[in-house]
Every structure is written in C-alpha cells, then in structure tokens.
Amino acid sequence: MNSLLILIPVSLLLFGGAIWAFAWAVRRGQFDDLDTPAIDILAEERPPAATRERDAA
C-alpha cells in the first residue's frame, strides 16, 4: 500500500512528461509531412561523379 504513494505520483510525472514531449514535437513541426520521408527512400539517386569515374576506370 505504501508503494502506491510513490508509484502514483511517479506515473503522473511520466504521463505529464509524455504529454509535454508530444506537444513540443507538434510545435516543432515533427508531424507536418509524414509521406515524403517514406517516398524518398524509394527514389534512386545517381552516384557522385567521382564514384562514377572511379568505377569506369
């Protein structure tokens, strides 16, 4: 029973921290564009010129 006197305030502090972290991320724009990063991984990029020249030699 005494452990509840410690665990409840600790859990409320953790919950408050999670809410604060979520609000901070929303204000910073972390959730503005969720589609582009997933599509970017599929785009093929040409290797830099130095790599192409080295591979051709």
SS (H, E, C) the chain: CHHHHHHHHHHHHHHHHHHHHHHHHHHHCCCCCCCHHHHHCCCCCCCCHHHHHHHHC
- First-to-last CA distance in the chain? 75
How high is the pLDDT of residue 35? Answer: 78
Q: Which two tokens stand for residue 13?
A: 């502090």
pLDDT over 90, % of the chain:
46
Average pLDDT of the residues in 4-8: 94
Model confidence pLDDT, tens digit, residues 19-37: 999 999 999 988 888 777 7
Q: How confident is the model at residue 9 (pLDDT cuts 50, 70, 90)?
A: very high
Residue range of the domain that includes 34 = 2-56
Average pLDDT of the residues in 33-51: 74
